[in-house]
Structure 1
Amino acid sequence: MRFGARLALAVTILVCTATACGIPHDSGSRSRTAEDCAPYARYGRHPGTQVSVYASNRDREADLFEETWADFADCTGIDVQYEGDGEFETRIQLRVEGGSAPDVAFFPQPGLLARFARAGELKPLSAEVASLAKRGWSPEWNSYATVHGTLYGTPLVANVKSFVWYSPRFFRDRGLRVPRTWSELMDVTEKVAASGVKPWCAGVESGEATGWPVTDWIEDVLLRQQGTAVYDQWVAHRIPFNDPRVIQAMDTVGSVLRTDRYANGGFGPARSMASIAYQEAGTPILSGDCAMHHQASFYAEQWPQGTGIGPDKDVFVFVLPGPDRATRPVLGGGVFAAAFADRPEVRAFQEYLASADFANARMKKGPFVSANRGVDPANADTPVDRLAIQLLQDPRTRFRFDGSDLMPASVGAGSFWKGAVDWIGGKSTQQVADSIERSWPGR
């Protein structure tokens, strides 16, 4: 460390020692010591400032975020005001249009982030934050928040969506093996159905975002059937949404999700999934009323308290197989932090969120996945998180981002989600695909 940096750190520690970091504490917080505050010296002191954060994360997820940045907030003097909203995708637009944009927003859809960036609403990343982003994440991950060559957001959360949750005991008791090909998966599906148990359970209700679990299914299967090149063309609308290859993928998914013999275990007929909250959709696995549930790594947070996660526990995962054992691409998603304001305290908060320190600290508090190169998989809260991080860090993994999140928001978070619900309700594949194609902006 250079002399100037050592001197700055020493001054910060002396200030924190004299003032306990100068931040008033409520009765539920502990006083931060000089040692506590030393890791945050590089973010500077911003006493009396406030940063508002708006996101879709609520309940325990929100609590874990706030717990993770509590020391940062106290040591820098920044009052971080967090608001989680289940209707984020709709209300963030209303807030910005109404002149009440938050300082920082966590965007689950790069397509939505890009809309605000193109409109000039978002602030480009500072040089410091952009440097951290380029150091911490691959060019591919940074490209998702890049608009017209300018980086507007940093990856905050990552997930792997190509997982199938199952009960190891259920499989073991019935002599079932984890499938490694699509043919083997359908063989397991048929064997479970023949035993009198509906093999798949699903739920797609998610407030304004209802329908996204079905779109994940379609994207995952298209990626496996047609490969990354066709998938990329479809997402970018270089081939139409209703291309015959997309129709094939939808029909393949329909052979599982729209078949009463195979779905919806623990809840009722296949169509019942339209009214089942995605948070509850996998729980019939625990009672043996369902064998498998296609859902992302973040579903680890939705299991009832006390549920063991691991290869010899109550639930575990396998990667959705492809046509052969060698074809196993990974579909995933993520959340990106972007700012509507450009003030020193906002930049400091963004810099902290972009650091590997934040990602590792968050992982130690509960289920969480990051694609940051500085993340240690050993810090993962569950074996599923560890597997997800290993897949994301493996250079051999053919990763693709959630297609609906990359598409224009009016399609990906609009007509595609709605069309997926109509499709589960009985509308034909061709009708739904044609309708979504007609909705594409500029068509």
Structure 2
Amino acid sequence: MAHKSQRRSAMVLSGLVAVSLGLAACGSSDDGGGDADAGAGAATEIDCAPYEAFGELDGKKVKVYTSITAPEDEPHINSYKPFEACTGVEIEYEGSKEFEAQLPVRVKGGNAPDIAYLPQPGLLRTMVETGKVVEAPPEVVKNVEANMPDWKTYGEVDGKFYAAALGANVKSFVWYSPAAFEEKGYEIPTTWDELLTLTDKIATDDPDGKPWCAGIESGDATGWPATDWIEDVMLRTAGPETYDKWVNHEIPFNDPAVATAIAEVGKILKNPKYVNGGYGDVKTIASTSFQDAGLPLLDNGGCYMHRQASFYAANFPEGTNVAEDGDVWAFYLPAKDATTKPVLTGGEWVAAFADRPEVKAFQTYLSSVEWADERAKTCGLGGCVTANKNADPALVKNAVDKLSVEMLTDEASTSRVDGSDLMPGAVGSGTFWKGMTDWITGQDDKATLDFIENSWPKS
């Protein structure tokens, strides 16, 4: 670790808010900063001068708890290395597939982490209600206002700001095999009707394969990929204004607009002719892990399409060529017509359960341009887009991440954050997940929507 006594390069600081991390001379090659890259060119030397604003932190530890697990965790861990090398703080990273279920248990039991990456603003509200979440320090607020102002409201609860956005991902993707499409002469659909027509054609052309593969098993979070389907289709069939009313419970969960969306999703996920490529019948969707679900795309027609977010690129085996002319690629999940482009997004929010100096320092680093740029540099297989609008787009090298940035910045795009992430935690990461799992295994549309509606908190 680098210590305060080590040489620092001269640099004019713009304050703790800036946390201006450069790439000039400082620590030695064995100070932990020399291999901060998991997929791009490594920076062997780090300018540690900006970190002096954090004070003396050598030997301190910060415990981070998150739902981000292997293989997506390594780029995150590597992105902390400049901070660790220059401050002397050790970041203890723990990823868990049972994060959403276990975090409330740990907080209630007095075993809260220092920092948690919350994948739902609804869960943030639930955690804030425990009285254990610490308001974000002023330095983080200033970073958020400068770097990601559009995301600030998602980190607020009752007018107080608690959590800065971390990563951002695009969920409105359909993964496919370019080779399989080319062999069969299939064109990328540009409307929802074209997608359904293509689906039916694939089912007719290839009785041994299936048009779609899907999987919603995710430990205690089983069901969340099915909620993404509903949200994406709600944006397409009902429009963003009605979507917002649904998320805020200004219309009931069993409103006709939601019934239309679930019926439309059912045309694909509940049709045994269309799913579940490489795994079995419709019910196998509930027992197929989301990590494995899209792998039959590589199996020469095991399945032809898989709807999943940009971060899914990290789940393909090492050596998979993820590119427009590669082994797998992705296209935009089409809307009702080709002139509109609703985009479903997601992310994580950094909440602190401690206000020690080293925790505040790490929060500030994660809200800075410098961390966003470091995250891009450590990125391997994709899923490395951040919410930080001031990050250097030239550092985004991964093809899928570039595609995500293009989609998010398209003037025709209308983006909305994942609806279940915004709903109260009891619904968004509770009954919505369970209801969709039961729906996949046989429960009808009405019973599913009624169950979720009846679970909505009364106050």
Same fold at TM > 0.5: yes
Write out aligned runs for 1:140-219 (5 A).
141-196=151-206, 197-219=209-231
The CA deviation at 1:34 is: 7.7
1:24–1:243 Cα change, 3 Å: same
- Matching of residue 406 in structure 1 with residue 422 in structure 2: yes
Write out aligned runs for 1:285-304 (5 A).
285-287=297-299, 288-304=301-317
The CA deviation at 1:60 is: 2.8
- Distance (whole Å) between structure 1 residues aligned to residue 14 and residue 44 of structure 2: 18
1:125 to 120, 136, 141: 136
- Identify the residue that residue 363 of structure 1 maps to in structure 2: 376
- Distance (whole Å) between structure 1 residues aligned to residue 241 and residue 170 of structure 2: 20
Query: Structure 1: which 5+ residue stretches go unaligned?
Result: none
1:396–1:40 Cα change, 3 Å: farther
Tell me if the contact between 1:310 and 1:382 (Cα under 8 Å) persists in the aligned partners.
no
Tell me if the contact between 1:377 and 1:390 (Cα under 8 Å) persists in the aligned partners.
no
Partner-residue secondary structure (3-state), 1:291: strand
Q: Identify which range, 82-91 or 385-394, moves more after superposition.
A: 385-394
What letter is aligned with 1:438? Answer: N
The CA deviation at 1:70 is: 1.5
What letter is aligned with 2:426? Answer: S
Q: Aligned pairs, how many?
A: 431
What letter is aligned with 1:417? Answer: W
- Identify the residue that residue 76 of structure 1 maps to in structure 2: 87
1:266–1:158 Cα change, 3 Å: same
The CA deviation at 1:396 is: 4.4
Tell me if the contact between 1:378 and 1:386 (Cα under 8 Å) persists in the aligned partners.
no
What letter is aligned with 2:349? Answer: F
Q: Identify which range, 328-337 or 39-48, moves more after superposition.
A: 39-48
What letter is aligned with 1:47? Answer: D
- CA deviations 1:178-233 (Å, max 9, x no partner) are 00001111111111111123100001100000011111001100110110010000
- Identify the residue that residue 53 of structure 1 maps to in structure 2: 64
- Matching of residue 222 in structure 1 with residue 234 in structure 2: yes
- CA deviations 1:369-426 (Å, max 9, x no partner) are 1121122333224211111123224454211011111111111111110010110011
TM-score of the aligned structures, taking structure 2 as reference length: 0.88
1:280 to 273, 292, 317: 292
The CA deviation at 1:7 is: 13
Write out aligned runs for 1:16-95 (5 A).
35-38=46-49, 40-95=51-106
Q: Identify which range, 80-89 or 255-264, moves more after superposition.
A: 80-89
- Distance (whole Å) between structure 2 residues aligned to residue 306 and residue 33 of structure 1: 26
- Distance (whole Å) between structure 2 residues aligned to residue 100 and residue 398 of structure 1: 40
- Identify the residue that residue 338 of structure 1 maps to in structure 2: 351
- Matching of residue 311 in structure 1 with residue 327 in structure 2: no
- Distance (whole Å) between structure 1 residues aligned to residue 309 and residue 140 of structure 2: 28
- Distance (whole Å) between structure 1 residues aligned to residue 160 and residue 14 of structure 2: 34
Tell me if the contact between 2:32 and 2:81 (Cα under 8 Å) persists in the aligned partners.
no
What letter is aligned with 2:438? Answer: D
1:331–1:6 Cα change, 3 Å: closer
User: What is the percentage of aligned positions where both structures have the same residue?
Assistant: 47
- Distance (whole Å) between structure 1 residues aligned to residue 273 and residue 248 of structure 2: 35
- Distance (whole Å) between structure 2 residues aligned to residue 6 and residue 155 of structure 1: 22
The CA deviation at 1:39 is: 5.0
- Distance (whole Å) between structure 2 residues aligned to residue 70 and residue 348 of structure 1: 14
Partner-residue secondary structure (3-state), 2:336: coil
1:322 to 335, 339, 345: 335
Query: Structure 2: which 5+ residue stretches go unaligned?
Result: 1-9, 17-21, 37-42
What letter is aligned with 1:242? Answer: N
- Distance (whole Å) between structure 2 residues aligned to residue 240 and residue 3 of structure 1: 56
- Distance (whole Å) between structure 2 residues aligned to residue 38 and residue 369 of structure 1: 27
The CA deviation at 1:33 is: 8.8
- Distance (whole Å) between structure 2 residues aligned to residue 206 and residue 356 of structure 1: 32
Partner-residue secondary structure (3-state), 2:239: helix
- Distance (whole Å) between structure 1 residues aligned to residue 45 and residue 318 of structure 2: 36
